[in-house]
Amino acid sequence: MKINSVVGTVHMVTIKQPAGAYDKQTIGSASDPDAKAGSASRPSESPLTMQVDVQVTATRFGEPVEEVPGAITIVTGDELRARGAVDLRSALALLAGVSVAPGGDAGPAAAVPSLLGVREVDDLLLLIDGIPAGGAFIPQVEAISLNNVERIELLRGAAPVYFGTTAFAGTINVLHYGAGRADRVTSFRYGSYDSGGVGGAAVLSAGTIRQSLSAELSTDGVADPRAEFRRAQGTYRLASPLAGGDFHADFDLLGLRQKPTGPLPIDEQTGRYSALLPMDFNQNPSDAKLDTDRVKLVLDYSRPLSFGRWGNTAAYTNTQTDSIRGFIDIGDSPQPWTANTNADLEAFKQSLQLHELFVDSNVTTRLKQRLDVTSGVNVLLGRADADSVRHGLRLRLDGQSQAAQLDSVAPKGTVDFNDRRRFVGVYAQTRYELTPKANVLAGLRWNTTHETRDENRVNSRGVVTAARAVQDVNRLTGSLGAGWKIWQSPSAPITLVTLHASAGYTFQPAQIDFGPDPEAKPEGGGLLVPETQRSFVAGVKADAPGGVAGFDITTFFVDFYHQPVAATSGGIGVLRSIGQQRYKGIDVEGLIRPVAGWSVKGNLTWSDARYRDFLTEINGIPTQLSGRRQVLTPALRASGGVLYALERGWRGSLTSSWIGQHFLNGLNTFEAPAYALIDASLGYRFARFTLSMTAANLGNRRDPAQLSELGEGQFYPMTARRIDAILTWHYR
C-alpha cells in the first residue's frame, strides 16, 4: 500500500539510493527529466497525486512497498510541507502504530518515537540519509532536520540483516534530497514564544558535477520561560562520475544550544501531577544547558559490474555534548510534599563525546531471472567518553524557587566513563520470485560484537571505585518473509491485493545509561546480557488505480527477552538481565483521494503491551509485574487527517491524533485518561510565494507524554499549543 500521499501534478522522481542499491530503484521513464541522475528539476510541489512507493530501507533491491513482506510506510516531504509539519511528532502523526513524544531528557529539540508500542528510544534505529545516527549508543533524534526532506521511510519491526543488532524494534530513515537536487525554496518563520527561523536549499550545479546546499537557522521557545533551543545546521552534497561509477560526498554540521525543560513528578497519593508545581516548572539549576556540536562526513561510491552493482559507504560522526542538569530525587524527598519541602536535587555537569564510524561494502546481483541477492559486510565502531561531576542541591517545592548554579556548590563526586563498541556483520539477503505473484525474502547475518568499558567513580567521601568489563558476543540473526499477490487487475476498482508475512530474530547489547550516578549498575560489575527479540508480522495491502485509495492491515507479535530490571544485591542497587515483555496488536491504515486536490488518511491501532516475567524493585520491595500493561502504552490509539492542496491557490490540513487510556506506573494503579491532539494548517500558494499558518496542539493538551530516564517517577508533559506564520519563496 502507498500510504505516502503528496500535492498537484504527477511528477516522477529519482531517489538517492544507498551504495550498491539495485538499478531498478530508479522511478520514472528515461524521458522524464527528474528520472535522470543529477536532474536539477524541482520535485513536485503538489503532494496529493504524486506516488513514491519504492523503498530503500528494508532491502537493497528497490522493491515497491507493496512487495515488501513487512510493515513499511513512506511519507513524502511534499506532504509534510503541505501539512506544515514542524517536528517529528507532527511529521509521523498519520502513520499507524507510531506515536512520538516531543522533548524529553535529550532536550526540547529531541523526541522519543514509539513503534509497536515500545517507548524506549534506544530500541529503534534512526537513519539520516541511510547512515546510523547514534546507532552505536543512542539515536540522536535531536539531529533530525526537516529542512529539504524528500521522504521519511518507517519500518516497524526488526531489520536484522543489513543494519544488524542496532535495528531492534523498528527503523526510521529520514532521507533528504541528494546532490544536484533540492527543495529549491527559502522559508521564513515566526511564531509562538518568540520562535523564528530561516531555512532553505539550493542546487549549486547540476551537470557532470552535481552539488547542492541546504541550511537553517532557528530559535524555538516553549511554554517554560526558562527553556528554549537554537539550531544552526547546514549540509553540502556532492556527486560526480568516477572510474566508471558514481561518487557521493556529504558534509553536515550541526550546532544545537538547548536550555532544557524539566519533567514533573507524579503525586504518590493521586497519581497525577503534583498540585504544588505549575505545569512548566523547571527543576534544573539556573545555569542549566544542553549544548551539542555535531560533524558528519559521508563518502559513498558505487559502480555497475557485469553481474550486478557494487556499493561502498564510509561515514564518520563526531558529537560533543556539554550539559548541566538537575532532577528531583523522589526517593530522598519523602511525600506528601508541602510548599516548604526542600527536595533533594541530584545535579550534574557532564562532557560527553561520541565518535562513530560506519563502513559498508556490498554487491547486489541477479543470479538468475527471478533471484536477486545482496551480500556484504559492514562495521559500526563507537567510542564514548563521559566525564561527569555530581552536585547535591536543594530545591524548595513552592513552584517558584530555582536551584542555585552548580559552580556555587561543592561537588559530591565524579565519574569517568569510557566505552568502546564494535559491531561487525557479514550478511546476505535474497529475494526469490516463486511465481509472478509470489516471492520470498530471506536473509541471514553473522554478528560479532566486542565491548570494553572502564569506569572510575569517586564518591563524596573520596572513595575510589574502578571497574573494567569486556564482553564478546557472536550470534546469527535473520528474517524470513513472503508475499503473495492474491488479486491483480489494472482495470478493476482494486488493482492489487497482497498478503504478506515475516518472522525475525535479532539481539542488541544492552543500551548505555550515561547518567553520572545511575541508581543501579550491572550485577557483579560486568556488562549486561544482550537483549533479544523474536517477532512475527503479517498483513494485507491493497491499492486502487492511480493510488486514489488503499488500505493496509498489519498484525504483529513481538517478544523481548533479557530486559534490564532493577534489583538489590547486598544492599546495593544492581541491574539484572531477566525481564521479559510482549507486544502484540493490529494496525489498520487507509488512504483515499476522492477528487483532485483532496487526500484523506486514517488509522487505528489496537495493542496489548504487557510485562511477562518482570521481577523488579519498587520502593525497595521486589515486585512481579507479570501481566500488567506497559507504562504510557494505550490499548487503542487512532489518528486521521484531511489535506487539501493544489499547485496554486488555497491549501489547508486538519490532523487529529487520539491516545486512549493508559497507565503511568508499572503497577497499573495510576490510570491516565484518553486525550486528543489537533494540528491544522491554512495557506495560499501564489506563483512564487506561499503564505501559511500552522498550529500544533490546538487544544493545548499537557498530558504526561514521556517518562524521564533521569528523573525517577517523573514525566515530561506534551508540548503546549504553538502557532507559526511561514513565508516561503519558491525559485527555479
Tens digit of each residue's pLDDT (9 = 90 or more) over 204-225? 999 999 999 999 999 999 999 9
Q: Specify burial of residue 720 (Cβ count, 10 A radius: 0-12, 13-18, 19+).
A: middle
Domain range enclosing 338? 23-730
Write the pLDDT tens digit of every residue in 154-188.
888 777 888 777 677 788 999 999 999 998 999 99
Give the separation between CA 173 and CA 191, rounded to whole angstroms: 28
Q: Please answer whether residues 202 and 213 qualify as being in contact, where contact means their C-beta atoms are separated by less than 8 angstroms.
A: yes
pTM over 0.75: yes
Residue 420 scores a pLDDT above 80:
yes
* Cα 161 from chain centre: 19
Mean pLDDT of 489-518: 85
Which CATH number do you get for residue 685?
A: 2.40.170.20
Identify the residue whose cell numbers are 569506569: 455
In a domain, 95, yes or no: yes
Give the separation between CA 328 and CA 263, rounded to whole angstroms: 9
Q: Please answer whether residues 617 and 623 qualify as being in contact, where contact means their C-beta atoms are separated by less than 8 angstroms.
A: yes
In a domain, 64, yes or no: yes
Residue 97 scores a pLDDT above 90:
no
Residue 693 scores a pLDDT above 80:
yes
pLDDT at 404: 87
Give the closest residue to 548 by CA, choosing from 473, 598, 612: 598
Give the separation between CA 527 and CA 509, rounded to whole angstroms: 9
Q: Which residue has the higher pLDDT, 692 or 162?
A: 692
- Domain count for the chain, please give it: 1
In a domain, 14, yes or no: no
In a domain, 557, yes or no: yes
What percent of the chain lies above the pLDDT cut of 90?
59
Residue type, 584: K
Q: Please answer whether residues 581 and 563 qualify as being in contact, where contact means their C-beta atoms are separated by less than 8 angstroms.
A: yes
Stated as kind and residue range, the H or E segment containing 392 is: strand 371-396
Mean pLDDT of 76-91: 90
Length of the chain in terms of residues written: 732
Helices (H), 326-434: none
Q: What single-letter DSSP state applies at residue 403?
A: B
pLDDT at 399: 86
Give the closest residue to 399 by CA, choosing from 316, 340, 335, 453: 340
Whole-number average pLDDT of the chain? 86
First to last CA, the chain: 33
Give the separation between CA 677 and CA 92, rounded to whole angstroms: 13
Split at pLDDT 50, 70, 90, the class of 21 is low
Mean pLDDT of 556-565: 91
Residue type, 676: A
Write the pLDDT tens digit of every residue in 634-676.
999 999 999 999 889 999 999 999 999 999 999 999 999 999 9
In a domain, 5, yes or no: no
Nine-digit cell string for 622: 521486589
In a domain, 90, yes or no: yes
Split at pLDDT 50, 70, 90, the class of 417 is very high
In a domain, 8, yes or no: no
Split at pLDDT 50, 70, 90, the class of 7 is very low
pLDDT at 62: 67
Split at pLDDT 50, 70, 90, the class of 484 is very high
In a domain, 3, yes or no: no
Stated as kind and residue range, the H or E segment containing 472 is: strand 464-488
